[in-house]
Chains A and B, each alone.
Chain A
Amino acid sequence: MKLLRNILSFLFALSVLSCVTINVYFPAAAAEEAADQIIRDVYGETPEEGEKPASEPHTGIEPERVPALIALLERLVPPAHAEADISIKTPAIQRITASLEKRHKQLAPYYSSGAIGMTNDGLITIRDQKLVPLKDRSQVKQLVNTENRDRDALYKEIARANGHPEWEPDIRKTFARRWVGNAPGGWWYNDNQGNWKQK
């Protein structure tokens, strides 16, 4: 009986130790910091730092549902993980940031008027075309298209430059939140249900 208990204890210990896994997690905090740095460069100021909209989704990646036993074991033996830094100092990222920054001066009045708004996938869209003077509508449409092309390139580039192209959706989500978080009051954004809200 004692032998059996020893064997069971050994097996349990083994199973606990075997749960030590090495995962590379998406570095949510670092990504947020990187996003803020880029966004503040683009906006050219740091209004209402850290402010987040009420409907903003929970920061980070949603934890997947895991079986209770594994969850328990992971509590007992936290998985070793490497939370990498997010690098944004590549020529490509700097070039895209500069391009966004330059265009932002032209876009800013339309954010303020409510003509354009921020979408929940990290892009912008024309929210109410009627708020744009007729002669500028075509140009604003072009600005929005080019801005979105650059933003798509930015998210892809950050993921790529950090060696994890698969992080692109998470980087996009992070940026989607932080574009809103760093925006001044009065600008419009799309909440997770796709409804327009004014910050």
Chain B
Amino acid sequence: MGAVEIREEYRIALEVCPTPLMLVSRDGNIVLCNERFAVLFGYLPGELHGQSVDVLVPEEIREFHPELRQAFFEVPTSRNMGTGRDLYGMKKDGELIPVEIGLDPVTPDENALVMVSVLDIRERKMSEAKIRRAIDAASSAMVMIDEHGKIELVNEQANRMFGYADQELIDHKIETLVPHRYHRKHSVYRTSYQNTRNQRYMGVGRDLFGLKKDGTEFPVEIGLTPLDGADGRLIMATVIDITERKLNEKNIREKNQELERLNHELTEFAYSASHDLKAPLSSIYGILELSETDLENGDIDEVRTNLSRARMLAQRLSGRIEDMLTLARADHLDDVLEEISIPDMVREASQAVQGQSSQTSQLTTEFAHSDPIHSSPTRLSAILENLLANAFKYSDPEKQQNKIHIKTWDEGEVMKLAIQDNGIGIPEDHLDKIFKLFKRVANSNEPGSGLGLALVEKNLAHLGGSIEVVSSHEGSCFTVSLPQNRKAPATDAPAQNLEVAK
């Protein structure tokens, strides 16, 4: 095909036109281009004349370009090139610039020419990119859908939140991000929303969930904003993952319940404590009042008896106060761990207890653990004294001889100590209550504060140990377990909550 004659009027027309333009022949040669065109692509005026248009085509599609060009010339019509695709032109120095290209056939004959107008859309692309960056920088996830529920735009946060790759969600239904069980309802809600199209939160009062690509669900809060524009009736949904908020709410709720429980226990404690402290006092009051009457009547013997009763009551009261203080202090004891000889400690404890007890019992021992052990002497002696005191106190008057047997053994790293008595025993339905504060279950006239076993359990908890009890009419057996992990003694065992008996 020979050179095409270009009329001078064409040349002048091209030069005065503000748009970069070129004329291309059917075989792809640049017949003419204006200066604006040459400048846009970095060429000198006239430098492009006679060259193939393919020099302006990015390398990766240069291969297919002749075929596309041929197809165009078969049915030449005025139109935009590559509708819907991003087009780039290549400058002389290899730089790619985003362009929009218009094609207009000029002479519909053998020597057909096509007028190619090229629009530099770099600025538009840049402002688009700026908006895109702004959307991606938003802290909440954003998903834009069209009026049919098709996803048009997803920002980075949304992709990350739902676990999708860039562009992966585009053109999918919005229900992709909604748990399956809500699909049917969701499309109805969506249609209803299209009728009101107001800016509001989705599903106020309901718990909303998002569905990730991996199938996991998470709680969300969603704001809806209608966007009306040339692109149709769009909806922008901003999504906030409220997993953490829900978790915090749950934590706070639990903390509150815990506080309420503790507060309730404290009230119960105050109730029981005031009751137990006041009871001996009011008895003393009553006794003294009677003594006044007896004195007036000259009944000195009765006065004497009553004074000793009052003294006993005062002693009981002082014991209770002491017990309460001991219990309160049990949480704040400094645990100094020492080597302890159990036989020595049992001997000391039984001497202390027998000194206070009105009952006599035969105490036998059987030590088979590895002595000494490693523990807190303060706590361990409190445990032993309380258990022994109970064993002495709740003896069975029906039995010929009151017996208490203490035996010890090792069970792996745990030292076991059992105190077996043949006392009155504990009714089975009360076994679970005996470690509670102020709970006295024994059918016995022996005075008690109801704090002894609570104190035992608390001290054991601090030593990382535990206690078990079996009981029948034949007597009771309390078995203490003390872990003997000498490498890491349990000094920081969590303090036990006070459980106050009703």
The answer to whether A and B assemble together is no
